[in-house]
Amino acid sequence: MRFSSIFSGALISFVAASFGLASTLSDGSVTATALDPNLTRSFHGIAYSPSGVILPNCGATQEAVTNDVLLLAQLTPRIRTYASDCNQTLYIFEAIRQTNADLMVWIGIYLSTGTDIDTVYERQWTAIESVINEYGTKNIGGITVGNEFLLLSYGDGTATDATGVAARTTLLSYVTKAKAALSALDLNVTIPVGTSDAGSAATLALCEGVDYYQANVHPWFGSVDYRGAAAWTFNFFEKFDVEVCAPASNNPTMYIAETGWPTSSDNASDATNGAGSPASIVGLQTFMDEFNCQANANNTEYFFFEFKDETWKEIYGGVEPHWGLFYPNRTLKAITIPECEVSSPLNGTVAQLVFPSSGSTAAQTSSGASPSSTSSTDASSASRSGTQLGAGLSTVLSLSMGLATLLL
C-alpha cells in the first residue's frame, strides 16, 4: 500500500475516534461504536470476504468479523461471500446475532478445479449445515456454489467448447448436490441455490440448472473509461447475462455478482486499464455516482465489489488488492457514499443495530429512542442524526486530507 493511503487512513481513523464514531483496536484497526453519518444504505448488496480465510493460513476472528458487520449493515442489507472455510460463515452469522444486524447472506461454496473438488465441497457443506442448525434460515438469501469455476476451468476457451461444457456439467452436479442436501434437512423454507461466474460465462443450459446466476461484470477489465463505465456495465449485463438466460423455463434470478472500480495499483504498468483510465479514488467515486442510484432505481440486483481492500491479493500485484470501499483497517476511503437508500428483504433498518462495545442500539446511540419506538422513517432519520457531529467530522476530515495533500 502506498504511503499516502496509510497516512490518510490514519488521519481518518484518528478523526473518527475523536468524534466517538469508532475506537482503534490494538492492531490498528477500527471498530464502530455508533452509526456513522457518512454511511448510507445505498448499496443493493456488497461482496465480502473476511480477512484471514484463505487456507491453510486461517486467521479470521469473531471480533474482526463482528466489526466488519457493524459497518456492512450501515451500507447494505445484503452481502455475498465466496467460500465457507476458516469458520467464516459461522463468524458472520454469529456477528449478525451479536449485533442484531439487518443482513441477508448469500453463502459461498468455493469449488476446486482440481481432483480434490469433492473433499473441498464436503468440508464447506459441513460448515454450512452447522450454521443452519445453529442460526436457522432467516438470514440466508441463497447458497452460491462456485465462483468463476467455469472461467477457471476453460481458461482461454469458451463456456461452449468441450472443456466449458464439461465444467458446466461438473458445476451443475454440485448445485444439484447442494439442493439435495438442503432437502434432506427438511427445512420449512426453500433456500435458492445458484452459482457465480464471469459475465461472459452464462449459457441457457447453465441458467436452466440454477435458481440464480450471479455475473461478474467489471468495466475496469473491459478497458472502459471510468466516465461512462456504469452505462457499459448495465449494457454488458443485459446483453450477455439477462438476455441469455431470459428463455430459461425456471426463470432464474439474475444478479451482478461483482462490479466496482479499483483505487490504486501496486505497480505502475497496471495503474491504468486498456482505455487509459486510472485506478483511482476519482474513478471509484464517479462509478458509484453513476451506477448505484440508477441500479437501485431500475431494480438491478447487484453486489458491489468490495467491502475493503484484501491484502492477501498483493501476491497478484496490480489492482487486485485495491477494490475496497474501506482500507484493510476499516477506515473509509476518501469517498462520498451516494444518497439513494435501498429497501431490506427482511424489512429491517439500521436502527436495530447493536454495538457490542456499548450494548446500545443504533437508535439509542443516535437519538436516545428505544428500538420499539423507532419507526422505519425514524430509522432513516436516526442514521442521519447528529447533524452537527457529521458537519464537524466533515470539516475536520477536509482539513486532515488537505494537510495530507500538502505533506505528500
Which of 63, 129, 148, 208 is the catalytic position?
148
Cell, residue 42 = 445505498
Which of 63, 94, 238, 258 is the catalytic position?
258
Residue type, 363: A
Quick check: 70 and 98 in contact, CB under 8 A?
no
Cell, residue 363 = 437508535
Q: Of 36, 41, 40, 38, whose CA–CA distance to 21 is shortest?
A: 36
Residue 258 among the catalytic residues: yes
What whole-number distance in Å separates Cα of residue 100 and Cα of residue 220?
36
What whole-number distance in Å separates Cα of residue 91 and Cα of residue 88?
5
Quick check: 199 and 237 in contact, CB under 8 A?
yes
Q: Of 117, 239, 238, 119, whose CA–CA distance to 167 is shortest?
A: 117
For the chain, percent helix, then strand, then coil, each to nearest 5? 45, 15, 45
What whole-number distance in Å separates Cα of residue 246 and Cα of residue 143?
21
Dihedral angle sign, alpha carbons of residues 302, 303, 306, 310: negative
Place of cell 449494457: 235
- Bridge-based pairing of strands 140-147 and 104-109 is parallel
H or E segment to which residue 243 belongs: helix 243-245
Give the residue numbers marked as catalytic.
148, 258
